[in-house]
Structure 1
Amino acid sequence: MARIIDIKLPKAIAAALRIPENDPRRQQLRVLKKLLKKATLTEFGQKYHFDEILLSKHIGKEFQQRVPVHDYNKIYEEWWKKTLEGVPDVTWPGKIKYYALSSGTSESASKYIPVTKEMLRSNRINYIRQLISVFNYEHLPRNAVTKGFLMLGGATDLQKGKAGWYAGDLSGILAKNRPFWFQTFYKPGGRIAKIKDWNEKLNEIVEKAPDWDIGYIVGVPAWCQMCMEMIIEHYKVKTIHDIWPNLGFFVHGGVAFEPYKKGFEKLLAKPIVYIENYLSSEGFIGYKDRENARGMKLVLDNNIFMEFIPFDSKNFDSEGNMVKDPEAYMIHEVEEGKDYALLMSTNSGAWRYLIGDTLRFVDIERKEVVITGRTKHYLSLVGEHLSVENMNKAVELVSEELNISIPEFTVAGFPYENLFAHKWYVACDDKVDEDLLIKKIDEHLCQLNDDYAVERTSALKQVFIEKLPEQAFLKFMETKGKLGSQHKFPRVLKGKIWQEWNEFLNMNYENK
């Protein structure tokens, strides 16, 4: 009788054999291989030997060792600049037809971010996934999904470049390339979507509003709030539900929603569901796929390879600039509760590209994240390490406590009496005492951030505030040519942009 031999595999091998198909590490490596294969014959792929990387046993680590990290200036000057001249096969096969214009919120010059047909297809797939996930929301009014949706975005009438490409806001590019089956539900419709002047577009939407049965709105909170306020005022109604009774949810992204929530609630007759997504000019990164999720689930299997750089002094200088060779982790190496800057490699020809956002994993198993700020949008003059997340939370708490709406704010730091100070600029049309407002903000920040609390007793000597009408922020954005669509007011002011902001205030609001 033959003896049965019991062979026991090493734990590591046994574990590897049982890796499920939806394992995040496997999903990401599959995406990376697909991207490398597609771009092997491009100039970029040839220079960094994508063919050799594909033959490596450890493709992720080999990719990280061979390919350098890029911020926008580096990849634009070395690679993307040529694509604007019509040169094909630079960082992605073929010519680039579309460019998303992005300023990142602080730089004055527009960035040209390539948008390929493959990226547009990936974005559409993720939109469909998010829409399907909405049915998992317990408190979502089901009839809202079957109604029309209002997408407040950039003009679909894009600017044309000499080499035959088109450029504009990503939302305008997406709307221009919307699939045919969107037409029945999509508002404001093709004619209004083409309008470049933001004020003209809003006025057209206001005129048409009663003719539409809107179930949900998609857009950046500030502009969507402004649109609803204009409709309510124009038709002399109490809430937006008097015009759109089936409005059930709001899909938003780009900025933290907490500072806007109080203002939104004042415009509603009944609660609506807020659904967050993470759509950048470089790609559709994630979305909240369940009602009580703490964060957004990263999309790991749809043509974006992600890396995560610990957001600390080892990898970034005091101005938020990335060092030359930062340590970068793959999805299976990250830790919960830590802040990371995001690197992306995509099917639009971005390679190890720093998009400027900082993330924190709040559920490591589900790979859910929250956006905590921007690499260059935080204040740490004396070690206070004040993040945009801290600022947003403090404003949310103060808004609730004082029952006021603060739709916009920004903060600057500067030397003051041999030490340092912060100055807050707050948009608030409600009546509130400035001294009380800054006192409450300061108190909440001390509770939220231990470093800030320590420095408030030493080097951070004073915190000032200037309360302004909301129109001040909007008019400043208009002077910069950034009114509407995806443009956001920077939460932290530094350098030239702060100087321009002060000049604008001195000219327009000196005797407010």
Structure 2
Amino acid sequence: MAIFGSIIKSLIDLKESLTPGGEPNKDQEEVLRTLLKKAKDTAFGKHYEFEKILTSEDIRKSFAETIPYFDYNKIDREWWHKYQEGEENVTWPGKPPYFALSSGTTGKGSKRIPVTDDMLESIRKAGIKQISALSNFDLPPDFFEKEIMMLGSSTDLQNEGSHREGEISGISASNIPFWFRSYYKPGEEISKIDEWDERVQKIAENARNWDIGALSGIPSWMELMLKKVIEYNNLENIHEIWPNLQVYASGGVAFEPYEKSFEKLWGRPVQVIDTYLASEGFLAIQNRPETHAMKLILDNGVYFEFVPFKPEYINQDGSITDDAPAISLAEVREEEEYVLLISTVSGAWRYIIGDTIKFTDKEKYEIRITGRTKFFLNVVGSQLSVNKMNDAVKDLENQFDMRIPEFVVAAKRGEDGEYYHYWYLGTEDKKNEVQLAEALDSSLQEANKNYKVARSKALKGVKVNLVDPHMFHEWNAVNKKKGGQVKMEKVMNEEKFDEWEAFVKDNQERG
């Protein structure tokens, strides 16, 4: 019997049973009050008179009326750039020891998001909440003695003056507590390898030395890593080398599009647990097995607001209009889509993180990520969000018995001058593209009345092209970087889509 595992499991069960449920709306108001108090003497706090907000009768209302919306470009242009010039106490006390480079981008054009010591503590606490929630899953005691494969970006962070830079997964992994290091794989040496292909090769070579019980990482890159381990070690499935693998903590994107692909890699069922760790903070965890929805973490240094996700509130660049209404946690409704706003212990204020979410269970404060504001396709009034696209692609998988882990779509004029939605589906299965286009079009019309109206007017039809899924990974390698937090964009404008089509054509000709 796994004695040590039984002790850990008992402690987790005990902690979960003793942890009070809290009062979410009061927790959120207290988070906001704490944020304002701590930042009131910063340049941002003085400019927007946090002291005055703190004395108001309705602190939430006063906060919303005083502070404008910020996307990354706006807050960086007006405030965060000052950190790079050596200033401190800009939007949060002191100077951030880290900056997270978002989406795996590098160079001067990268988004640099401050990560404070308070945020690292918030992420640590969220991680403990995630581990505690495992008591709700039917896991045997010996699971808690197994190793965890955390597939993120490189932990070899770059020194830039008084701070260090890297992706949030690399920053988090470089700050793991000492007691966890013996469980953490691929270990510090391999994790520091910056080149993705080299890092994954080392993982494949060392895989037999590890007893992995859990995986953690973005699905697209996790799938590639597992395939490499299987190929290198001449396996039928991943459980032949990691027989005790029982949990996969997915994150960053919806797991459903990858479900069929992963089923091919498993030798037995694996419990998939969704998490929501962004460059700006650890926002939600799945804490029960009956759902893929995640519970917002409401008492941990992040204050949430929600803007209804409607076309009239969304600008072309994915930002929101100045007059868009923001509502509090108490006012949200189930199954309605919202643009997520956060204010955090890293000095982000009413910040548009770029994700859209919906509440699946308001009483439990559980959400699903439905897409990105920039991935909203509305060129000709079709009003397609990513969750509608994901659902339609899943219908294709079921209808045609195929796997489509990746896709991209754009609206542009065809040779006849009419608008079409051009879809590239990443799949290894050979199917009829015309039949897929008809089925995709039909599915979208059934699911979205705005799309159906657009199809009767400005939108002429759907075009489908099938490409190898690896094409998407290579596109990321050229334009961003492999691995880590990098996510494939689902919707492109015409200019970017022309580059994509040229890239595909060039690779197919060379291949």
1:364 is aligned to 362
Correspondence 1:443-482 to 2 at 5 A: 443-482=442-481
Tell whether the 8 Å contact from 1:145 to 1:216 is kept in structure 2 after alignment. Answer: no
Q: Distance in 1 between matches of 2:185 and 2:421?
A: 42
Secondary structure class of the residue paired with 2:311: coil
Aligned in 2, Cα 1:217/1:301: closer, same or farther, shift over 3 Å?
A: same
Structure 2 equivalent of residue 44 of structure 1? 44
- Any conservation in 1 of the 2:99–2:115 contact (CA below 8 Å)? yes
CA contact (8 A) 2:318 2:354 kept: no
The equivalent residue for 2:193 is: 195
Matches within 5 A, 1:384-463: 384-416=382-414, 417-463=416-462
Query: 1:448, 1:160 → 2: CA distance?
Result: 49
Aligned residue identity for 1:147: K
1:168 aligns with 2:171: no
Task: Supply the AA of the counterpart residue of 2:496.
Answer: I
User: Alpha carbons of 1:340 and 1:97: their partners in 2 closer, same or farther (altered >3 Å)?
Assistant: same
Cα distance per residue 1:104-157 (max 9 Å; x no partner)? 99x99320010011101111111111111122024x455333310000011111
Residue matched to 1:336: 334
Query: What letter is aligned with 2:59?
Result: I
- Asked if the contact 1:24/1:300 (under 8 Å) is kept, the reply is yes
Deviations along 1:158-211, one digit per CA (max 9) or x if unpaired, are: 1221x3211111100001011111111000000001000000000000000010
**Residue identity opposite 1:306 in structure 2:** F
Deviation at 1:55, TM superposition (A): 1.1
Distance of 1:21 and 1:178 partners within structure 2? 27
Structure 2: 5+ residue runs without aligned partners? Answer: 1-19
List aligned pairs for 1:99-498, cutoff 5 A: 99-103=99-103, 109-138=109-138, 140-161=139-160, 163-293=161-291, 295-317=293-315, 320-416=318-414, 417-498=416-497
What is the CA distance between 1:507 and its match in structure 2? 2.1
State the structure with more CA Rg: 1
Q: Say if 1:47 and 1:335 are closer, same or farther in 2 by CA, change over 3 A.
A: same
1:500 aligns with 2:490: no
Give, as a single letter, the amino acid of the residue that structure 1 aligns with 2:388: N
**Alpha carbons of 1:423 and 1:85: their partners in 2 closer, same or farther (altered >3 Å)?**
same
User: Secondary structure of 2:134's match?
Assistant: helix
Moved more, 20-29 or 115-124: 20-29
The SS at the match of 1:293 is coil
CA contact (8 A) 1:309 1:341 kept: yes
Q: Secondary structure at the match of 1:278?
A: strand
User: Structure 1 231/103 Cα, relative in aligned 2: closer, same or farther at 3 Å?
Assistant: closer
State the AA in 2 paired with 1:75. Answer: I
Q: After superposition, what is the alpha-carbon deviation per residue over 1:384-404, rounded to whole angstroms, capped at 9, x for unaligned?
A: 111100111122222233222
Amino acid at match of 1:392: N
Corresponding residue of 2:84: 84
Identify which range, 239-248 or 398-407, moves more after superposition. Answer: 398-407
Higher fraction of helix: 2
Contact 2:421 2:461 in 1 (8 A): yes
Equivalent position amino acid for 1:360 in 2:
K
- Identity within the alignment, %: 44
Quote how far apart the aligned CAs of 1:373 are.
0.8
> Residues 466 and 511 from structure 1, CA distance in 2 versus in 1: closer, same or farther, beyond 3 angstroms?
farther
The AA in structure 2 aligned to 1:124 is: R
Separation in structure 1 between the aligned mates of residue 90 and residue 185 of structure 2, nearest angstrom: 37
Per-residue Cα deviation, 1:313-358 (whole angstroms, up to 9, x for no partner): 3422355331123211111111122111011100000011111111
Q: 1:314 to 1:438 in 2, by over 3 A?
A: closer
Question: 1:103, 1:109 within 8 Å by CA — same for their partners in 2?
Answer: no
Aligned length: 490
Matched residue type, 2:174: K
> How far did residue 73 of structure 1 move?
0.7
Deviates more, 1:489-498 or 1:449-458: 449-458
| Counterpart Cα distance in 1 of 2:140 and 2:437 | 39
The amino acid that maps onto 1:365 is E
How many angstroms does 1:440 deviate by?
2.5
Aligned positions of 1:60-71 closer than 5 A: 60-71=60-71
Q: Find the aligned partners of 2:50 and 2:312 in 1 and give their Cα distance.
A: 29
- The one-letter code matched in structure 2 to 1:501 is W
Instruction: State TM-score, norm by structure 2.
Output: 0.92
Distance 2:208 2:344 in 1: 41
SS in 2 for 1:376: helix
Q: What is the aligned partner in structure 2 of residue 10 from structure 1?
A: none
Quote the Cα distance in structure 1 between the aligned partners of 2:510 and 2:230.
30
Map Cα deviations across residues 384-427 of structure 1 (whole Å, 9 max, x no partner). Answer: 11110011112222223322221211111112334310011111
Alpha carbons of 1:376 and 1:179: their partners in 2 closer, same or farther (altered >3 Å)? Answer: same
Quote the Cα distance in structure 1 between the aligned partners of 2:315 and 2:480.
30
Q: In 1, distance between residues paired with 2:104 and 2:479?
A: 13
What's the CA shift for 1:431?
Answer: 2.5
> In structure 1, how many angstroms separate the alpha carbons of the residues matched to 2:245 and 2:49?
52
- TM-score, length-normalised on structure 1? 0.92
- Deviation larger for 458-467 or 73-82: 458-467
Name the SS of the counterpart of 2:179 in structure 1: helix
Match of 1:14 in 2: none
Distance 2:140 2:467 in 1: 37
Distance 1:99 1:173, change over 3 A: same
1:255-274 CA distance string (max 9 Å, x none) = 11111110000011111111
Shift in alpha-carbon separation, 1:328–1:219, aligned structure 2, 3 A: same
Matched letter for residue 217 of structure 1:
L
Partner amino acid, structure 2, of 1:152: L
Q: Which moved more, 1:179-188 or 1:459-468?
A: 459-468
Counterpart residue type for residue 486 of structure 1: Q
